[in-house]
Amino acid sequence: MADDAALRRLIAGIGRGEADSLAALYDLTSPKLYGLILRIQRDRALAEDVLQDVYMRIWQAAGGYRPEAGRPMPWLATIARNRAIDSVRRKIEVQGPELDSGEDWVARLIDPHDGAAAFLDRDALVACLGRLEPLHRECVVRAYCEGRSREELALRFDRPVNTIKTWLHRALSALKTCLETAS
């Protein structure tokens, strides 16, 4: 691993648009950053994608790096960590929560016997559900696809029944607004 001074010089070079500095930084730091990413994003292929995204972010942010604010390796590690966490969150948002049965919540919304118009409506619903906070989305899916009561949801999420009612009310309101703007 290079010393702090060498890393600072490379980051400064990247800030000036020097691609060879980025290549050198990659060679010096990618094994450590990849290991960090892999601990968060366990899928190797996705971790490799995140690593590439990290170096794109470094390319964009290097001009704003201030050595007096901290050592270079923790700065690089913070970028890698944040990108890895974002990747995991995106994966959860796209896939949605799994139900107790292991079935994907999107699959619960789609009936293969529906016509094309129903699929379009469901596509809009899936998109709008994807915009909800993950806990609220899971609560809505469990309530309206699985028929769970508010009391069951309160136990499941370890929240008071009134909190569950509020979550459902807000989520349904957000879905209604989203679906109205989608049509």
Dump pLDDT digits (tens) for 112-168.
444 444 444 667 778 888 888 888 988 888 887 667 788 889 999 999 999 999 999
Higher pLDDT, 22 or 123: 22
How far apart are alpha carbons 172 and 105 in whole angstroms?
16
DSSP string for 121-143: HHHHHHHHHHTS-HHHHHHHHHH
Q: What is the pLDDT of residue 15?
A: 95
- Give the tokens for residue 160: 């008071």
Tens-place pLDDT, residues 28-58: 999 999 998 988 888 888 899 999 999 999 9
105 contacts 99 by C-beta, under 8 angstroms: yes
Higher pLDDT, 183 or 124: 124
In this structure, CATH architecture of domain 4-95: Orthogonal Bundle (1.10)
How far apart are alpha carbons 87 and 120 in whole angstroms?
27
State the span(s) of the chain assigned CATH 1.10.10.10: 105-182
Residues 6+ apart with CB under 8 A from 171: 132, 136, 137, 139, 140
Beta strand spans in 8-158 (E):
none
Residues 6+ apart with CB under 8 A from 102: none
With cut-offs at 50, 70 and 90, classify the pLDDT of residue 12: very high
Tens-place pLDDT, residues 65-100: 999 888 999 999 989 988 988 887 776 544 444 445
Q: What is the pLDDT of residue 60?
A: 93
- Give the tokens for residue 20: 């060879």
- Angle, helices 19-40 vs 4-15, to 10°: value is 110
Whole-prediction pTM: 0.51
Backbone angles phi, psi at 104, to 5 degrees: -70, 140
State the span(s) of the chain assigned CATH 1.10.1740.10: 4-95
Q: Does domain 105-182 have CATH number 1.10.10.10?
A: yes
With cut-offs at 50, 70 and 90, classify the pLDDT of residue 1: low
The secondary structure element, H or E, covering residue 50 is helix 44-61
